[in-house]
Amino acid sequence: MSSKPHPDSLKAGQIAGRVLHEVFREVRPGVKVLHICTLAEHRIAEYGARPAFPCNVSINNEAAHYSSPYQDTRVFPERGLVKVDLGANVNGHLSDTAKTVDLDGSYEKFIIAAETALDAAIDIVRPGIKLGDIGEVIEKAIKAEGLKPVHQLSGHQLKPNNLHAGKNVPNVKIHVTEKMQLGETFAIEPFATDRSGRIKAAREAYIFSNDIRNRKKVDRIALQVRNLARRSFGTVPWASRWLYDLKNDFEFEIPLKTLVRVGAFHPYPVLLEAEDGMVSQAEHSVFVSEEGAIVTTKYDD
């Protein structure tokens, strides 16, 4: 394993960190969620990368996976928590980073809990550290603010062309014997809530991925959509609204449902806190070096 991040991995991290910093400042009451999603994705492309996945902009009890559908009219409320989660792809090398906006200053402890937990986790990253030990420090930091970790969500290993690769990074103390090894890259992402810390899936899904091996027979229209998605997005997750960017005179709703039903498309439902608790998130991508963590998505203004 290399003791230094690949240059493309560093570039992917730098772009994601810069874009998150820029779009974060645009999140305020009354602004359209769609504006933030498209702004983030356009900036990633402008700086020389592709989105590693659709920009997630999840509000209040939504923990993850809300990305604006086509012609989304949703706007940010006057108060609450907004998670902006994005990543960049440079020649297959991926980054993943997130931050939470407190829209009116009412939820400061949620921000502190997630960010303190992330910092505490990064501080102990080193070759040979048990992933369960990472979860323990995350849980302790969140509980110190009187909140609970969202235990059903976790961080994840990053590999070229694979956003969720192999090992998971828990957000609670559990018995995990797997370790971080020299040269590996992880996205560490604590989530904090004021309720149970369990997750439920909503009916809605706006993010999908292709099952490239799926050969199920479908009607002619669905076949066209399946081929379009495979040709355009390959194996990376994509947003349903991206289809309209490619073919805006087409109605995708019915073929989308057909292709999900036959397993050609894998949906990522919007994830909600099970008791509708408020949720905050903080995330960085880190490379495991001999000296500890190299945070590739850190941005210095």
144 — pLDDT class (breaks 50, 70, 90) = very high
114 — pLDDT class (breaks 50, 70, 90) = very high
- 96 flagged as catalytic: yes
> Residues 270-291: what's their mean pLDDT?
98
Q: From residue 176, how far is each of 123, 152, 168, 286 by CA, in Å?
A: 19, 15, 10, 19
263: left (phi over 0), alpha (psi -120 to 50) or beta: left
CATH architecture of 202-270: Orthogonal Bundle (1.10)
Could you give phi then psi for residue 5, rounded to 5 degrees? -65, 150
176 or 27, higher pLDDT: 27
Strand 155-158 relative to strand 292-295, pairing: unpaired
pLDDT digits (tens, 9 = 90+) for 238-271: 999 999 999 988 999 999 999 999 999 999 999 9
> Residues 138-159: what's their mean pLDDT?
98
Inform me whether the pLDDT recorded for 109 exceeds 70: yes
Angle between helical axes of 220-233 and 253-261 (0-180°, round to 10):
80
The one catalytic residue among 85, 145, 184, 194: 85
- 93 flagged as catalytic: no
Calculate the average pLDDT of the chain.
97
- 42 flagged as catalytic: no
H helix count then E strand count, the chain:
7, 18
- The reported pLDDT for the residue numbered 217 is 97
* C-alpha distance across the termini of the chain, in Å: 31
Share of the chain above pLDDT 90, in %: 96
3 — pLDDT class (breaks 50, 70, 90) = confident
Contact 146, 192 (CB under 8 A): no
- The reported pLDDT for the residue numbered 205 is 98
- The reported pLDDT for the residue numbered 249 is 87
Residue 264 in tokens: 């050609």
Angle between helical axes of 131-143 and 108-123 (0-180°, round to 10):
150
1 — pLDDT class (breaks 50, 70, 90) = low
| Domain map (residue ranges) of the chain | 7-198+274-295, 202-270
The one catalytic residue among 62, 136, 189, 273: 189
217-239 per-residue burial string, b: 16 or more CB within 10 A, e: under 16: ebeeebeebbebbeeebeebbbb
Domain 7-198+274-295 indexed as CATH 2.40.30.70: no
- 301 flagged as catalytic: no
Inform me whether the pLDDT recorded for 24 exceeds 90: yes
- 119 flagged as catalytic: no
Euclidean distance between CA atoms 158 and 44, whole angstroms? 18
Could you give phi then psi for residue 10, rounded to 5 degrees? -65, -45
- The reported pLDDT for the residue numbered 22 is 98
The one catalytic residue among 21, 35, 42, 164: 164
- The reported pLDDT for the residue numbered 248 is 85
Inform me whether the pLDDT recorded for 301 exceeds 90: no
- 189 flagged as catalytic: yes
